[in-house]
Amino acid sequence: MSLRAAVLLLSTFALSVVLAACSHDAAPPAAAPQPERKAAVQATADHDEHSYAEPQKVRITALALDLGVDFAQKQLAGTATYTLDWKDPKATTLALDTRDLAIAKVEGADASGQWTPLQYALAPRDAILGSRLDIQAPRRNASVRVTYRTSPDASGLQWLEPSMTEGKRQPFMFSQSEAIHARSWVPLQDTPGVRFAYTAHVAAPKDAMVLMSASNDAADANGNAPRTGDYRFTMKEPIPSYLLAIAAGDLVFQPTGRRSGVWAEPAMVGKAAKEFEDTEKMIEVAESLYGPYRWGRYDLLVLPPSFPFGGMENPRMTFATPTVIVGDKSLVSLVAHELAHSWSGNLVTNASWKNIWLNEGFTTYVQGRITEALYGAELADMERQIDQQELAKEIADGEIAPADQVLALPALTGRDPDEALSDIAYTKGAWFLRFLEQRVGREVFDPFLRGWFDDHAFQSATTAEFVDYLKSHLLAKHPNAVSDAELDAWLHQPGIPAFAERARSRGFATVDSARIAWLGNGQLPPPAITSAWTTQEWVHFLEGLDETSKPAQLAQLDAAYHFSGTPNGELAQRWYPLAVRAGYHAGDAQMAEFLQRVGRRKLIMPTYEALVKTPEGLAFAKDVFAKAKPGYHPITTASVAAAIAKAEKPAQPAAAKSL
């Protein structure tokens, strides 16, 4: 059975027993099962199928965290206190999302501030959704407070030994809450359809600097903050739960602009500040297109290389992989991307994960605009062309099911939102916006997009709402710009519409000629040409090599350009799979080192996926994975384990998969 099928089976089982409420040692008697309690979360147009919360009854409007960071126990422990806005006069239950949390007690306070125990029930764990926590909240004006601690295996946290950091002296911890992992470190209405302001008081060992997706109350005018072991944070803008973030470790600050800076380990911070020196200019470009940056400061936190993503747009504090710091600023469009989320995602938020292209597609489009304004249309075209060709290949190779190739996705009930996410949201989403831009012109499209952000600021939105807005605010005024059939192709049909204009970089034409010449006559392009190539040109060179490369050809490339052992993860990500498929083994040791050092999923999965296709490769992959696993994030561990399990198990009959 595939891991996917196993997960589905497990979750079906868990859902069937979820009705049984369990009581807890130090807790008051468990609440009686509620008649309105539902086992499975049903999806409707504006319902989030990945949350047990019932925001139509009651909404969290403010959260106050009081947490201690315990590196030895790998746990956060303390309280979460909620301010509630009751919507339904008859509702008495507050349903929260949790995963692997130990709940010690739940209390309510009236206006006089007197805390008294409340009844609650924690349902058994669902493999995807976690455990529903039902709290009986009798007084409607009461605050509710949950005392809890996290599991060392919390899916939204990674605890790193000192050896896994740059400095090797202090432990490190960071969160990754998107999509539905916030619930593993805070009991919450963990749905992007609910927003709340938050404050946090965090106690940590004195030598650990703590950062959150909020302003540090003790920060100075430059954005630096003292390392005291006792931290207070305030996020006064309402944010969805997936933007809740925390990190702790040996972190120091360096400013990059009047409202931007970099936090990193001491050995990295100078390099990082240099690489990201254009951040302030990026903010200005984005503001000129889409209106004021509404979050105060914009800082970057450079994490250890185990961070499973390239970047995460935590408000005021983007979390970023160190793998984009390559010394020539060639990968800083990652910053443009995460910054762009300050409008598309953080300001206007996908109402649930089936609408994620509203976050990622819009952001990829805005990222391209920032890149173009700062570094020129040629670089923006190159990045677009790389993305588009990659998506075309994924579609051609059958890696994305046709039903998942649409922007207007149906409900993702029973699926993990992380698994359902694909380049469709990013690349097809951005492509659709570019198509609209081309049809009406920038002078019309730019104000339209700004209007979308302004009119939905600090709200969540669905695809249907965007389509309505598009029709009323753009297409009604430009009735001949886009046909219904074209709209339908983008939103509801699989694949990329044939009428979509493909990105074409002029620089890539030179790269293509050089590759073709080499494949024909064995002559590599001279250094006079290649010394000027950027990361994107090398990526394009490698992506044009197909499965038929011979070991001798790769040896020639490696001797000339030193791909094995490259510090550039974008090149490593393309080079090692080529080597694996060709049976070129000279770089195996460097490949193993890369797979063990880096935990960014996108960079290492192509190599694992190439390895598991042959018995020797599979053995190599398992060996490397066994060594790397203690340093991987839970998200990366799950992806690698799934790739290995899939290769080891024979394919299942279709019936087993359709559960």
Of 227, 533, 235, which Cα lies nearest the Cα of 378? 533
**Least distance to Zn ion, CB of residue 310, Å:** 8
Chain residues 354-383 in contact with Zn ion, contact rule CB under 5 A? 360, 363
**Least distance to Zn ion, CB of residue 361, Å:** 9
Compare residues 70 and 178 and give the one whose CB is closer to ligand BES.
Answer: 178
Of 300, 302, 315, 166, which Cα lies nearest the Cα of 223? 300
Compare residues 482 and 571 and give the one whose CB is closer to ligand BES.
Answer: 571
Of 131, 162, 165, 141, which Cα lies nearest the Cα of 22? 131
Rule CB under 6 A: say whether 312 interacts with ligand BES.
yes
Chain residues 415-454 in contact with ligand BES, contact rule CB under 6 A? 418, 421
Q: Which residue is nearest to ligand BES (CB)?
A: 310
Q: Which does 309 bind (CB under 5 to 8 A by kind): ligand BES, Zn ion, none?
A: ligand BES
**Least distance to Zn ion, CB of residue 620, Å:** 32
**Least distance to Zn ion, CB of residue 341, Å:** 6
Cβ–Cβ < 8 Å for 606, 640: no
Rule CB under 6 A: say whether 338 interacts with ligand BES.
yes
HSE of 36, CA atoms in CB hemisphere, 13 A: 12
Q: Which two tokens stand for residue 434?
A: 């570019």
- Beta strand pairing call for 195-203 and 58-70: parallel
Active site residues: 338, 426
Chain residues 355-384 in contact with ligand BES, contact rule CB under 6 A? 360
d(CA 66, CA 63) in angstroms, rounded, equals 10
Rule CB under 6 A: say whether 341 interacts with ligand BES.
yes
Residues facing residue 146 across a β-bridge: 80, 106
455-483 burial, b if ≥16 CB within 10 A, otherwise e? Answer: ebeeebbbbebbbebbeeebbeeeeebbe
Burial class (CB in 10 A: 0-12, 13-18, 19+), 653: exposed
Of 262, 422, 409, 289, which Cα lies nearest the Cα of 343? 289
Q: Which does 179 bind (CB under 5 to 8 A by kind): Zn ion, ligand BES, none?
A: ligand BES
Q: Which of 78, 249, 261, 310 binds ligand BES (CB under 6 A)?
A: 310
Chain residues 175-214 in contact with ligand BES, contact rule CB under 6 A? 178-179
Q: Which does 178 bind (CB under 5 to 8 A by kind): ligand BES, Zn ion, none?
A: ligand BES
Compare residues 216 and 314 and give the one whose CB is closer to Zn ion.
Answer: 314
Who contacts 410 (Cβ-Cβ below 8 Å, separation ≥6)?
43, 354, 403
Q: Which of 130, 240, 257, 311 binds ligand BES (CB under 6 A)?
A: 311
Chain residues 403-422 in contact with ligand BES, contact rule CB under 6 A? 418, 421
Compare residues 59 and 337 and give the one whose CB is closer to Zn ion.
Answer: 337
**Least distance to ligand BES, CB of residue 288, Å:** 21
DSSP string, 148-200: EE--TT-TTEEEE-GGGSSSSSS-EEEE--TTTTGGGTS-B--STT-EEEEEE
**Least distance to ligand BES, CB of residue 309, Å:** 3
Q: How many residues line the site for ligand BES (CB under 6 A)?
A: 15
Of 98, 12, 633, 654, which Cα lies nearest the Cα of 319? 633
Burial class (CB in 10 A: 0-12, 13-18, 19+), 203: middle
User: What is the contact surface with Zn ion in residues (CB under 5 A)?
Assistant: 360, 363
User: What is the contact surface with ligand BES in residues (CB under 6 A)?
Assistant: 178-179, 309-313, 334, 337-338, 341, 360, 418, 421, 602
